[in-house]
């Protein structure tokens, strides 16, 4: 499902995420996040970067967690930064921060809520190399 071409607007991030979740396409999900993105997990833990974010979503999907979302409003966009919001099937509203790349495509930079309450505490995150 991966396209090789990034979303042309922040609203497209939500649409692509929903399609990737339905297809169980973790690579496609990870492409929606910037290389330096951060996704909050439970207990103050964070998945940082593509490898850790991918591992977190693999764990969530393996546990059968319902990650389906729909847009919860129009993104707020200013100077190449956007706030997107999604609504989960149980009605929770989650917010994300996205940024526009030099090529005009969009990726999420910060996702503070999507996995935080989903109970994937036992996921073993790959170690990150610190430069």
pLDDT tens digits, 64-108: 878 888 888 899 999 999 999 988 888 888 889 999 999 999 999
Output 63 or 128, whichever has higher pLDDT. Answer: 63
pLDDT tens digits, 9-58: 999 999 999 999 999 999 999 999 999 999 988 777 888 999 999 999 99
Output 11 or 3, whichever has higher pLDDT. Answer: 11
Which structural domain range is residue 40 located in? 10-111
Query: Residue 40 maps to which CATH number?
Result: 3.10.450.50
Residue 130 placed within a domain: no
Identify which of 57, 65, 20, 21 has the alpha carbon closest to the alpha carbon of residue 37: 57
* Per-residue pLDDT at 64: 84
* CA–CA gap between residue 119 and residue 28 (Å, rounded): 22
- Averaged pLDDT for residues 106-128: 69
Residue 128 placed within a domain: no
Which is it for strands 46-48 and 69-71: parallel, antiparallel or unpaired?
unpaired
The answer, yes or no, to whether residue 2 has pLDDT greater than 50, is no
Structure tokens at 80: 């190449």
Per the structure, how many domains does the chain have? 1
Cα–Cα distances (Å) from 82 to 43, 51, 59, 76, 109, in that order, read 26, 24, 28, 5, 10
Output 105 or 3, whichever has higher pLDDT. Answer: 105
Cβ of 7: how many Cβ atoms within 10 Å? 22
Residue 28 placed within a domain: yes
* Per-residue pLDDT at 91: 87
Segment holding 39, helix H or strand E: strand 33-40
């Amino acid at each position: 499902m991966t396209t090789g071409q990034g979303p042309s607007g922040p609203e497209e991030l939500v649409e692509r995420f929903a399609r990737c979740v339905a297809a169980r396409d973790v690579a496609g999900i990870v492409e929606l996040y910037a290389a330096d993105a951060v996704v909050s997990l439970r207990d103050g833990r964070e998945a940082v970067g593509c490898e850790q974010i991918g591992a977190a979503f693999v764990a969530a999907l393996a546990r059968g967690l319902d990650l389906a979302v729909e847009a919860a409003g129009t993104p707020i966009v200013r100077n190449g930064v956007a706030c997107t919001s999604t609504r989960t099937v149980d009605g929770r509203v989650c917010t994300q921060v996205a940024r526009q790349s030099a090529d005009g495509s969009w990726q999420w930079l910060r996702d503070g809520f999507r996995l935080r309450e989903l109970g994937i505490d036992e996921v073993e995150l790959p170690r990150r190399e610190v430069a």
